[in-house]
């Protein structure tokens, strides 16, 4: 797989595990501006492309970035300084682009993990919300400073945060701008797992990737899509979405592969899952 188009994200492909790891290291503090949005858009295109010749079933974003003062950094927010001379219309257009990107990231047909290793502010928190599973080291911290800048979190932080951690905690973070440490982030459900450091976190990611690569990529993508599509809907709609996902697995031939290889799968072997064009 050609990853040259996303080289600024420092991608590392573990082909055996079908795992793509991104180690952010750019700008002053891994801030996200127009240049980074373009790279992440290319990342989405790479993973969404059904013609890709190398399966990716797991994606992980992390960082080993440390400031000159020794502060660990994951994503310190959006690049607000690039907007100093922008007019209101350009700012709105830029944030619309951010929202569209975040939606694509949330819907990627792979298991997406965020491993926060340090300061995670604004856009960084919103990026965590695009992940299917979030981990944090003891050096991680999380906050939404936007209301102190005269804006609201505009790329999922207002629309999706309450669904993840509840309205009271979302109001606390969004209204006050209070920063919470990794332990508190785990307590309120912003992250799902704590790890001792980045290497321990990556070991855990590799273990999850090992499990994922044994499963049907199409079935994993269908399950994720159905689960997300069903959020906030009534029971009847959720069941209908589930039925469509199940039918997709059957119609693609993946269910038949699973039946034929049932004994081998139980013994720990991985069948040659199909590569249907629809993920």
pLDDT tens readout for residues 182-214:
999 999 999 999 999 999 999 999 999 999 999
pLDDT for the residue 49: 87
Q: Residue with structure tokens 């919470």?
A: 180
Check if the beta carbon of residue 272 is closer than 8 Å to that of residue 257: yes
- Asked, for residue 61, whether it belongs to a domain, the answer is yes
- Asked, for residue 21, whether it belongs to a domain, the answer is yes
- 98/228 same-domain check: no
Neighbours of 235 (CB within 10 A): 8
Residue scoring higher pLDDT (26 or 277): 26
- 166/233 same-domain check: no
Check if the beta carbon of residue 99 is closer than 8 Å to that of residue 66: no
Average pLDDT over residues 11-37: 96
pLDDT for the residue 279: 42
Average pLDDT over residues 14-39: 96
- Asked, for residue 82, whether it belongs to a domain, the answer is yes
SS3 133: strand
- Listed residues 169, 188, 212: the one ending a domain: 212
Q: How many domains does the chain have?
A: 2
pLDDT for the residue 1: 74
Domain assignment of residue 119, given as a range: 4-212
111-116 and 11-14 strand pairing:
unpaired
pLDDT for the residue 11: 97
- 186/230 same-domain check: no
Res 130 pLDDT > 70: yes
- 107/42 same-domain check: yes
Q: What is the CATH number of the domain that holds 78?
A: 3.90.226.10
Res 51 pLDDT > 90: no
The C-alpha torsion from 90 through 143 and 45 to 53, rounded to 10°, is 160
pLDDT digits 0-9 by tens, 71-127: 999 999 999 899 999 999 999 999 999 999 999 999 999 999 999 999 999 999 999
- Listed residues 212, 227, 249: the one ending a domain: 212
Residue % of the chain over a pLDDT of 70: 97
Distances (CA, A) of 68 to 43, 84, 119: 29, 25, 14
- 127/258 same-domain check: no
Q: Considering the entire predicted model, what is its pTM? A: 0.94
pLDDT for the residue 275: 56
- Asked, for residue 169, whether it belongs to a domain, the answer is yes
To 10 degrees, what angle do helices 34-48 and 88-106 make?
Answer: 30
pLDDT for the residue 50: 76
Average pLDDT over residues 148-170: 96
pLDDT for the residue 2: 81
- 58/179 same-domain check: yes
Query: Which of 85, 3, 91 lies closest to 39 in space, CA to CA?
Result: 3
Res 278 pLDDT > 60: no
Res 35 pLDDT > 80: yes
Q: Residue 52: pLDDT band by 50, 70, 90 thresholds? A: low
Query: Which of 68, 70, 65 lies closest to 26 in space, CA to CA?
Result: 65
Alpha-carbon distance of 219 to 96, in angstroms, equals 31
- DSSP tag of 66: B
Res 38 pLDDT > 70: yes
């Amino acid at each position: 797989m050609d990853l040259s188009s996303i080289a600024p994200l420092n991608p590392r492909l573990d082909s055996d595990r079908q795992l793509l790891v991104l180690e952010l290291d750019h700008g002053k503090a891994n801030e996200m501006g127009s240049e980074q949005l373009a790279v992440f858009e290319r990342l989405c295109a790479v993973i969404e492309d059904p013609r890709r010749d190398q399966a990716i079933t797991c994606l992980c974003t992390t960082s080993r970035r440390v400031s000159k003062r020794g502060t660990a950094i994951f994503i310190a927010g959006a690049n607000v300084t690039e907007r100093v001379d922008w007019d209101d219309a350009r700012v709105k257009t830029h944030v619309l682009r951010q929202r569209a990107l975040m939606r694509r990231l949330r819907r990627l047909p792979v298991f997406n993990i965020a491993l926060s290793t340090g300061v995670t502010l604004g856009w960084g928190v919103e990026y965590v919300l695009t992940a299917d599973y979030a981990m944090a080291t003891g050096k991680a911290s999380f906050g939404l400073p936007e209301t102190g800048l005269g804006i609201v979190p505009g790329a999922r932080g207002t629309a999706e945060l309450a669904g993840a951690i509840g309205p009271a905690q979302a109001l606390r973070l969004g209204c006050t701008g209070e920063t919470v440490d990794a332990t508190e982030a785990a307590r309120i459900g912003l992250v799902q797992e704590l790890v001792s450091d980045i290497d321990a976190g990556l070991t855990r990611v590799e273990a999850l990737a090992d499990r994922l690569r044994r499963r049907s990529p199409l079935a994993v993508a269908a399950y994720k899509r159905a689960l997300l599509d069903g959020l906030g809907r009534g029971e009847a709609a959720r069941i209908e979405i589930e039925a469509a996902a199940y039918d997709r697995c059957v119609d693609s031939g993946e269910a038949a592969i699973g039946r034929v290889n049932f004994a081998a799968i139980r013994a720990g072997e991985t069948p040659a899952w199909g590569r249907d064009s629809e993920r």
